[in-house]
Amino acid sequence: MSTHHSPRIVLVTGGAGFIGANFLLRMVPRYPDVQFVNLDALTYAGNPMTLQPIENADNYTFVHGDSADGALVQRRFDKHDFTTVAHFAAESHVDRSILDPLAFVRTNVVGTATLLDAARRAWTTEGAIDPVAFRCYHISTDEVFGTLGDTGAFDETTPYDPHSPYSASKAGSYHLVRAYADTYGLPVVISNCSNNYGPF
């Protein structure tokens, strides 16, 4: 059986942030038959002006809201029948996490758990989730691996070793994503980005 996933309606969290915005600016014009719904709380990291080139596109919708707001997330799943989640929303930056660690736990851990559970409920049919019909992409960070050692590189086998509230919260979100994949069969893809460069 093929496991190729073809998105139809994509929930993008944190799409006004740097990485999410670049994703949307590339994907919305490239895939006019795919609907993109951008859920963003517009914190210090979000800039809606970045998205001006696509804000009137027929296949793009912006929703101002928090991914940790369970009622809001559930309403969006009920309304849009998402086939795909691209989860960029996160509190980031180590220094900010030292000043306000609970904000990082709320967004990165509770927000991720909220999305995962909404997807699980929406996508489970007769006790199973179709891995071809649905997919959840979780954008993580190399910070979860801790300090770069003597090898000069991390890989998929590097143990998690977070040392800040930021990296610990992202490690926690990873473990939730893996748990939902293993427990419920939620089809997930996880990336551990290093430094990202590009427009904005």
pLDDT in tens, 168-181: 998 999 999 999 99
Q: For the chain, how far is it from start to end, CA to CA, in angstroms? A: 41
Report the pLDDT value the prediction gives residue 198, as an integer from 0 to 100. Answer: 75
Q: Please write the tens of the pLDDT for every residue from 62-90.
A: 999 999 999 999 999 999 999 999 999 98
**Separation between Cα atoms, residue 23 and residue 191, nearest integer Å:** 14
Q: What number of helices (H) and strands (E) belong to the chain?
A: 6, 8
φ, ψ of residue 142 in degrees (nearest 5): -75, -10
Percent of the chain whose pLDDT exceeds 90: 67
Q: Please write the tens of the pLDDT for every residue from 33-68.
A: 999 999 999 987 788 899 999 999 999 999 999 999
Catalytic residue numbers, as ranges: 142-143, 166
- Give 27 or 160, the one with higher predicted confidence: 27
With 0.75 as the threshold, say if the pTM is over it. yes
Q: In sequence order, what are the residues at sequence separation of 6 or more whose Cβ sits closer than 8 angstroms to the Cβ of residue 138? A: 87, 112, 173, 174, 177, 188, 189, 190, 191
Q: Residue 143 gets which letter from DSSP?
A: G
Residue indicated by tokens 């758990």? 113
